[in-house]
Amino acid sequence: MEKIIYLDNNATTKVDERVLEKMLPFYCEQYGNPSSMHSFGGNVSKYLAHAREQVADFVGAQNPYEITFTGCGTESANIAIRGALEINKTRKHIITTKVEHPCVMNTYKWLEKRGYKVTYLDVNSEGELLVDELKDVITDDTALVSIMWANNETGVVFPVEKAAKIIKDKNPKTFFYVDGVQASGKIPMDVSKANIDMLGISGHKFHAPKGVGALYVKRGILLPPLILGGHQERGLRPGTENVSGIVGIGEAAQLAKSYLEDEGTRVKALRDELERGIVKKVFNAKINSTKAQRVPNTSNISFEYIEGELMLLHFADAGICASSGSACTSGSLEPSHVLKAMGVPFTCLHGSIRFSLSRFTTKEEIDYALSVIPPIIEKINGYSPYQKELKELKELRNF
Amino acid sequence: MWEYTDKVKEYYTNPKNVGEIENPDAVGEAGSLVCGDMLKIFLKIDKNGIITDAKFQTFGCGSAIASSSALTEMIIGKSIDEADKLTNQDIVEFLGGLPNEKIHCSVMGREALDDAIANYKGIEKKEETENHVICTCFNIKEDEIRALVREKGVTDIYEAAQYSKVSSACGKCREEVSAIILDELKKKNEKPVDKMTKTQLVLKINKVIEGYISEHLRKDGGDIELVDVKKGKVYVRLCGTCGKCAMSSMTLKNFVEKTLKEQVSEEIEVISV
């Protein structure tokens, strides 16, 4: 395959070369252990401190020590959630949403089996969180509320600031964890202003390498560690630091902050152009969550009466990388729990594709995608047993 | 990403026999839009019962398109009776293999063919209530699962999978298969309990605990030990996470005691020590 048009940046991103450049010295030159007594190792800790400041600035933390480096977004979520429950032991109720990422969702399923009661908040047909429901479900027994900042499949942004206010008004003892993985690098984040207790992010979603994440924990909340060991990361995440990765996530965070304007303008314009082009040329395409506030890079499009994996396979042959929350792709045979929660009709459920752009996406790439996607859909429409329904749809939409 | 063979790739990229046949002699369907897979086949059959043309329309993933296309290729030129002998495994072999999770695509092809043949012969599709297919991925029927319990001494779904692969692909039928195995175990073990010696009874209880109950608890990080059996009362100790779990009394009544009642004797009462 000569040409790759990478429109799957919510899955992972390319490491920015400026990030890689900062990381490389820590492999063969400054390879010392930051905990060592000798200055060869000890000096490295300065770079960790710098990275901590960069990430703190990126998420809006007031103190660098509110940032802990972890291995990934999943680990950040686990340390935060399980730790918060550990220090809020007498309360056995958790509130989250129906559309969380599996890393959070599966943690709650596991906790349910261990005696916790979990309330799952609904979303509407646009994928927007019905945040006012929070008022009615928070009780004295609520230990934790956990809401994602932006949804990975639809890109819909959730009102975390409003949620924080509701939570703290109703029960100040309830902790608030926000999964910030899909918001980071796409929209401005300010944990202090939003009054969030804990926030998890993952480096590889904003052009840092895979294998490094971060967790913000508000000053004054002392979480216990999940794994036991030494003093690193103030004991919350023991184990020798992933120095190059941490330097990478720091640099990537600083860059991402400077690219927020590009995301909100140029990337958004490209995303909108892609959507307009597809809807104009493909009669059975329907964009999800258009009325909701979305992160600028994400588009979720349902193609009615055809199936997602088949589209992805044909897109891949044309060099286009996208993904689908639907049935067959992810190894599970169930359609997307996010689209199901939104009540997306079953004619669309199995044929929904997510395109996600980045700072590296160009106009030429979008033009190319728009030239190859419509004929592929046309071809696959021809395989469908629902010819009558497709014909009716075509007439209905005046094609 | 799925590992598809070159043949599967060829068949979903450029499938053969896509479309409809006007005035077909037989039409068959399988699956539904809701399930995410739906296949229709159209057959043209001459007066000697030979399939002269076959076409398909499929809503489904790459392997569903490939399986449908392969099926039509395989049956063109065959008599209805020959076609009827095809199995889903033949489709899989024709394609050079399918990932385990995608075997059901070939099964769907075979089901649509069944439906078309019934349609041609004018037979109403009869629902096999007594012995229907439980595991559609590997086409395993209820009586085959029961036979594994009776003849091979299978006591749980994991052992059953070693003999027949049952439930080891998509996993949708797991609960149903477990229920059938439990039911058959119950039948198999019916009532000679009161004639057992005490040692036989203890061994029996221990086998169910070791072979089934403990297996399940270990998945959640817990475990169970048999301590004693006295006058129909079974004394056990919950360990690991189960020992500390707030729900342990539920586990004891709803799972441990229920299973022992089903598999050994209704009289059993379980007590935690």
d(CA B250, CA A163): 35
Please say if A328 is a catalytic residue.
yes
Dihedral sign, Cα of residue B197, residue B199, residue B200, residue B206: positive
Dihedral sign, Cα of residue B258, residue B259, residue B265, residue B269: negative
CB contact under 8 A, A385 and B34: no
Q: Which fold has domain B133-188?
A: Arc Repressor Mutant, subunit A (1.10.10)
Please state the separation of Cα A11 from the chain's center in Å: 8
User: Chain B, 56-75: which have a CB under 8 Å from a chain A CB?
Assistant: 57-62, 64-65
CB contact under 8 A, A307 and B36: yes
Exposed e or buried b per residue across A64-83, where buried means at least 16 C-beta atoms within 10 angstroms of its C-beta: bebbbbbbbbbbbbbbbbbb
Q: Is the pLDDT of residue B176 over 80?
A: yes
Chain A residues touching residue B37 (CB < 8 angstroms): 307
CB proximity list for B197: less than 8 A, separation 6 or greater: none
Chain A residues touching residue B65 (CB < 8 angstroms): 310, 383
Predicted confidence (pLDDT) per residue in A42-76, tens digit:
999 999 999 999 999 999 999 999 999 999 999 99
**Searching chain B, which residue's CA lies closest to the CA of residue A387?**
B57
CATH 3.30.300.130 fits B192-272, yes or no: yes
Q: Which fold has domain B6-121?
A: Sufe protein. Chain: A (3.90.1010)
pLDDT at B155: 87
CB contact under 8 A, B65 and A346: no
d(CA A266, CA B29): 48
List of domains in chain A: 17-258 (3.40.640.10), 261-396 (3.90.1150.10)
ipTM for this model: 0.86
Give the start-to-end residue ranges of the domains of chain B.
6-121, 133-188, 192-272
Under the banding of pLDDT at 50, 70 and 90, the label for residue A333 is low
pLDDT at A327: 45
Predicted confidence (pLDDT) per residue in A11-44, tens digit:
999 999 999 999 999 999 999 999 999 999 999 9
Predicted confidence (pLDDT) per residue in B120-161, tens digit:
988 765 554 456 788 877 778 888 899 889 888 888 888 888
CB contact under 8 A, B33 and A115: no
Residue B15 to chain A, least CA–CA distance (Å): 9
Contact A156, A150 (CB under 8 A): yes
Pairwise pLDDT comparison (A330 vs B71), residue with the higher score: B71
Predicted confidence (pLDDT) per residue in A75-110, tens digit:
999 999 999 999 999 999 999 999 999 889 999 999
Q: Does B5 touch chain A (CB under 8 A)?
A: no
For the entire predicted model, the pTM comes to 0.79
d(CA A248, CA A242): 10
Q: Which of A313, A326, A386 sits opposite B59 (nearest CB)?
A: A386
Predicted confidence (pLDDT) per residue in B195-240, tens digit:
678 888 888 888 888 878 887 888 777 888 888 888 878 998 888 7
